[in-house]
Amino acid sequence: MAKTAPPPDKASLPNHVAIVMDGNGRWASKRMMPRAAGHVAGVSTVRTIVRAANDIGLPNLTLYAFSSENWKRPITEVSHLMGLFRAYVREDVSQLLENNVRVRFIGNRSRASEDIVALMKESEQRTAACTGLNLTLAFDYGSQEEIAAAARDMAREAAKGELDPEKITTDFFASRLSTAGTPDPDLVIRTSGEYRLSNFLLWQSAYSEFVFVDKAWPDFTREDFFEALDTFAQRERRFGAVTPEAVA
Ligand code: IPE
Ligand code: IPE
Ligand code: MG
């Protein structure tokens, strides 16, 4: 029987969980289905995990939906992913609103089609006053570009004499990233047995705990999510310091 984990207790919950939802394509291929079917199944898992996160009172959840490198995929797959993303944002916003979920998007908004950009803006506005789960969808997101863009903007302002370079501390730098206002992820989960970040939240995950799960994203369940939270709860985080009991 599959191991199941009960809902985690609130005191041990991380403040922010970020997930690299990986393995849709391989999940489908294994079943002799087209990769597109894996992405469709992946959207169901998104719904399951967003609901679970909201149910347990997790404050922040970030999902990696489409990377800036995913444009390299065949046009048919990219178009299908764009269509699924469009449908998700359009169809789920009312339910997110009903469940008090606030949705935000990070990533480049200049390459997606205008209607998708408009839908993103609209759902951010409609859910802006929600006080439950803070859901961030990383769409056409790439961390290196995010960091380079912030550096470029600051350099421009400094060149014009509008920004004193001495002001650029780590906190200031973080305030210029697309994630400003959201705490750094305490836990990063990646499914499908791959052990890499793939350009996701490079700056923000400096002290994140990592949990890698072998299951592909479409197979990832509410219980698997709780199990990852449980694993997190058992980790000892030191942030470069020493634990009090280790001090001689
Ligand atoms: C994750 O699944 C979804 C996106 C990257 C959009 P993949 O499509 O990467 O699936 P695999 O890794 O090829 O199995
Ligand atoms: C990372 O997965 C991007 C998303 C989950 C959206 P990829 O499947 O694109 O990453 P790589 O290519 O295996 O590193
Ligand atoms: Mg992948």
pLDDT category at 1 given cuts 50, 70, 90 is very low
Query: Cα(201) to centroid of ligand 2, in Å?
Result: 13
Tell me if 24 CB under 6 Å of ligand 1.
yes
pLDDT tens digits, one per residue of 221-234: 999 999 999 999 99
pLDDT category at 248 given cuts 50, 70, 90 is low
Closest protein CA for atom 2 of ligand 2: 22
Is 70 considered catalytic here? yes
Question: Residues 15, 70, 99, 108: which is the catalytic one?
Answer: 70
pLDDT tens digits, one per residue of 130-172: 999 999 999 999 999 999 999 999 999 999 999 999 999 999 9
Is 214 considered catalytic here? no
**HEC string for the chain:** CCCCCCCCCHHHCCCEEEEECCCHHHHHHHCCCCHHHHHHHHHHHHHHHHHHHHHCCCCEEEEEEEECCHHHCCHHHHHHHHHHHHHHHHHHHHHHHHCCCEEEEECCCCCCCHHHHHHHHHHHHHCCCCCCCEEEEEEEECHHHHHHHHHHHHHHHHHCCCCCHHHCCHHHHHHCCCCCCCCCCCEEEECCCCCCCCCCCCCCCCCCEEEECCCCHHHCCHHHHHHHHHHHHCCCCCCCCCCHHHCC
Q: Which CATH architecture has domain 10-142+184-232?
A: 3-Layer(aba) Sandwich (3.40)
Where exactly are the structural domains of the chain? 10-142+184-232
Q: Which of 17-21, 28-32, 79-83, 242-246 has the lowest mean pLDDT?
A: 242-246
Closest protein CA for atom 6 of ligand 1: 66
